[in-house]
Amino acid sequence: MKYAFCNEMFGVEPFDQVAATMRSLGYTGVEIAPFTLLPPTDAFDARRVSAAKRREIRQQAEAAGLEVIGLHWLLAKTKGFHLTSPDGAVRRTTADYLKALVELCGEIGGTLMVLGSPQQRNLLPGVGYNDAESYAAEILREAMPLCAAHGVTIALEPLGPTEGNFMLTAKNAIHLAELVESPHCRLHLDVKAMSSEAEPIDVIIRDSRDWLVHVHVNDPNLLGPGMGDVQYGPILTALDEIGYAGWLSLEVFKYEPSPVEIGQRSIEYLRKIAAAIASEN
């Protein structure tokens, strides 16, 4: 298993220091929330991230021995973008912004973009699910040629009903990816989100084997693996059985007792589970 972390839990701490600390704990990949690359503003825009800043992030990750996986929280803290809008102008500006994110992802060394951002994809008044799905597919298809050019994959992230009302299950996300019809549009699974589905998590993983490219590890209590009720034995066993070769990327939403302690406890727990599975094979 390859272990990575999402950088936003460290807030404004210097990226080079965060990278070195997490590498010392055993993490070898980092996933970046674009809004962490600039000082806080009312409306973040990734196009304002300078070429120098892009080079700096890439160089600092490499110096620490980390691979930049790519981006997540793609539309968070932005204004004017929406994945399921019935307004053609909004869809065009959203597609253009998504393409700008593809360029950012490639330029910092990433190959993957996790599309979550529930507030920018939830159903708008008067828009039915099928129409919303069609609008989202239109936007995503627009970005696919640039994804191919930069070697970037957009991974659709199902999220639970507490966060929204669009793309709530792995099957929903797979159906949207089928509409996009590109090898650069695949599936991302998040343990917290999968915990809200009717099917057990290991069943979801097995059923999604042909689409899965990335996994977020966490717990419904918003902390890390092993810090809540979710048992990771069946999860890692299912990933092992389907031959998953991607990342287990730590994404938490509570940062206490501290990001470093959460990172340490999470990777120790996951390694213990992984070692037990390996010993049985």
Strands 185-190 and 29-32: unpaired
CA distance 67 to 49: 20
Q: Which residues contact 273 (CB under 8 A, 6 or more apart)?
A: 232, 233, 236
Mean pLDDT of 76-81: 96
What b/e readout covers 138-164, taking b as 16+ CB neighbours within 10 angstroms? bbbebbbebbeebebbbbbbbbbeebb
Give 192-208 pLDDT, tens digit per residue.
Answer: 999 999 999 999 999 99
Q: pLDDT digit string (tens) for 132-183?
A: 999 999 999 999 999 999 999 999 999 999 999 999 999 999 999 999 999 9
* CATH superfamily membership of 2-280: Divalent-metal-dependent TIM barrel enzymes (3.20.20.150)
Residue-level pLDDT at 152: 98
Instruction: Check pLDDT > 90 for residue 281.
Output: no
- CA dist., res. 164 & res. 79, Å (int): 18
Instruction: Give me the amino acid identity at 139.
Output: I
Parse the chain into domains and list their residue ranges.
Answer: 2-280
pLDDT at 253: 97
Burial of 243 (0-12, 13-18, 19+ CB in 10 A): exposed
CA distance 51 to 49: 7
65 and 28 Cβ atoms separated by less than 8 Å: yes
What is d(CA 24, CA 67) in angstroms, rounded to the nearest whole number? 14
| Residues in contact with 194: Cβ distance below 8 Å, sequence separation at least 6, in sequence order | 158, 170, 201, 204
Q: What is the pLDDT of residues 10-48, one digit of tens each?
A: 999 999 999 999 999 999 999 999 999 999 888 999 999
Instruction: Please enumerate in sequence order all residues whose Cβ is within 8 A of that of 56, keeping only pairs 6 or more positions apart, or say none.
Output: none
What per-residue confidence (pLDDT) applies to 42?
Answer: 85
Residue 183 structure tokens: 């090898």
- pLDDT of 54 reads 98
Helices and strands, counts by H and E, the chain: 9, 8
Q: What is the pTM of this model?
A: 0.97
Q: What is the pLDDT of residues 81-116, one digit of tens each?
A: 999 999 999 999 999 999 999 999 999 999 999 999
Report the distance separating Cα 129 and Cα 84, nearest Å. 9
Which has the closest alpha carbon to 280: 228, 221, 236, 247? Answer: 236
